[in-house]
Amino acid sequence: MNPIHIALAESDADIARCFPVMAQLRPHLVEAEFGPRVRRMQREGFLLAALTAEGAVRAVAGYRYHEKLFSGRTLYVDDLVSDPGHRSRGHGARLLAWLADQAKARDCDLLELDSGVQRFDAHRFYFRERMRIASYHFSRALRAES
């Protein structure tokens, strides 16, 4: 039995292996554009972590560090997704715990993420993992105004 392993996706091949799982959460992504987009984001501080089990990527997290006046140093999770065919095996919880460990190691005060209002199953998971709703997140599409 292969152990579960979590590591940053740093090579082009590692990044590409994350696409099928990430596309479950972000279906608008185009596979051919995924690697170059992740590389651009990495130059801005984005990190991509993959949980592998049984020789395959089973969960993925995209995250970054930043600091805010109201909350201090923060690990912000852009994306957190488990392969739907392998859910309820603890992969998401293990990856979220790994992210919390990364945040503590970087002296963060907060681990935060946004979750779409329609993602009820994800919300149950986050509550179970001791997260709470801390604020509303507002957005405004600017391209539509042009």
**Would you kindly state where each structural domain of the chain is located, as residue ranges?**
5-134
pLDDT value, residue 6: 97
pLDDT of residue 59: 96
Cα-Cα-Cα-Cα dihedral sign, residues 105, 74, 52, 132: positive
Give me the pLDDT at residue 132, please: 83
Residues whose CB is less than 8 angstroms from the CB of residue 88 and which lie 6 or more positions away in sequence, other chains included: none
Per DSSP (E only), the strands in 1-145 are: 5-8, 47-53, 56-68, 72-82, 110-113
Which pLDDT score is estimated for 126? 66
CB distance 62 to 48 below 8 Å: yes
Instruction: Please name which of 133, 134, 34, 129 lies closest in space to residue 91, comparing C-alpha atoms.
Output: 129
CATH architecture of 5-134: 3-Layer(aba) Sandwich (3.40)
The per-residue pLDDT for 51 is 97
| pLDDT tens for the chain, residues 1 to 146 | 568 999 999 999 999 999 999 999 999 999 999 999 999 999 999 999 999 998 999 999 999 999 999 889 999 999 999 998 877 788 988 999 999 999 999 999 999 987 766 776 777 766 777 878 788 777 778 887 76
pLDDT at 34: 98
Q: Enter the pTM of the model.
A: 0.86
